[in-house]
């Protein structure tokens, strides 16, 4: 989805850059045109740029809304899986307390050995 949005965005930006180049060329050759013709050209190009900027802003808003919807969906899924995991752990601990206690003690000893003061590289 992000790649599609990038392609759309770059197309919009490329169109804007092309319109700005047209405006720049028109202004550069403006000395050869009458004031009224130059004003019409500038107004046309300005209106075209404003329209494209508005369309680009709409695309960005749409992409942001889509992304926020996905974040909500994935967040809900993560919360559900976290609750399921916690329930499973609670059930396993209630059904098998001694293995759960042995695992907890093992982790405690491992962490204690890693964090003890004499276990740094500077002291070795």
106 assigned to some structural domain: no
The pLDDT tens digits of the residues spanning 62-110 come to 888 888 888 988 999 999 999 999 999 899 989 999 998 999 999 999 9
58 assigned to some structural domain: yes
Q: Residues 56, 10: contact at Cβ < 8 Å?
A: no
37 assigned to some structural domain: yes
Give the pLDDT score at 108: 93
97 assigned to some structural domain: no
98 assigned to some structural domain: no
Q: At what angle do helices 97-115 and 35-95 cross, to 10 degrees?
A: 120
122 assigned to some structural domain: no
Inter-CA distances, 92 with 35, 96, 99, 102, 104, Å: 84, 6, 9, 13, 13
The domain in which residue 18 lies consists of: 2-88
Report the 10 Å Cβ neighbour count for 89: 11
Within 8 A by CB and 6+ apart from 1, the residues are 66, 70
123 assigned to some structural domain: no
The pLDDT tens digits of the residues spanning 14-32 come to 777 777 777 777 666 665 6
Domain count of the chain? 1
121 assigned to some structural domain: no
Q: What is the DSSP letter of 96?
A: -
Q: How confident is the model at residue 5 (pLDDT cuts 50, 70, 90)?
A: very low
pTM recorded for the entire structure: 0.40
Give the pLDDT score at 38: 67
Q: How far apart are CA 21 and CA 77, in angstroms?
A: 48
- Cα 65 to chain centroid distance, Å, stands at 12
């Amino acid at each position: 989805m992000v790649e599609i949005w990038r392609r759309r965005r770059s197309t919009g930006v490329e169109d804007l850059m092309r319109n700005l180049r047209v405006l720049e060329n028109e202004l550069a050759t403006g000395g050869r045109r009458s004031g009224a013709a130059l004003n019409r050209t500038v107004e046309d190009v300005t209106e075209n740029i404003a329209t494209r900027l508005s369309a680009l802003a709409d695309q960005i808003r749409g992409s942001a809304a889509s992304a926020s919807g996905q974040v909500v969906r994935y967040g809900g899924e993560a919360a559900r899986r976290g609750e399921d995991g916690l329930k499973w752990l609670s059930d396993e601990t209630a059904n098998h307390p001694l293995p759960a206690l042995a695992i907890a003690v093992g982790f405690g000893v491992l962490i204690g050995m890693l964090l003890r003061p004499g276990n740094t590289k500077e002291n070795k």
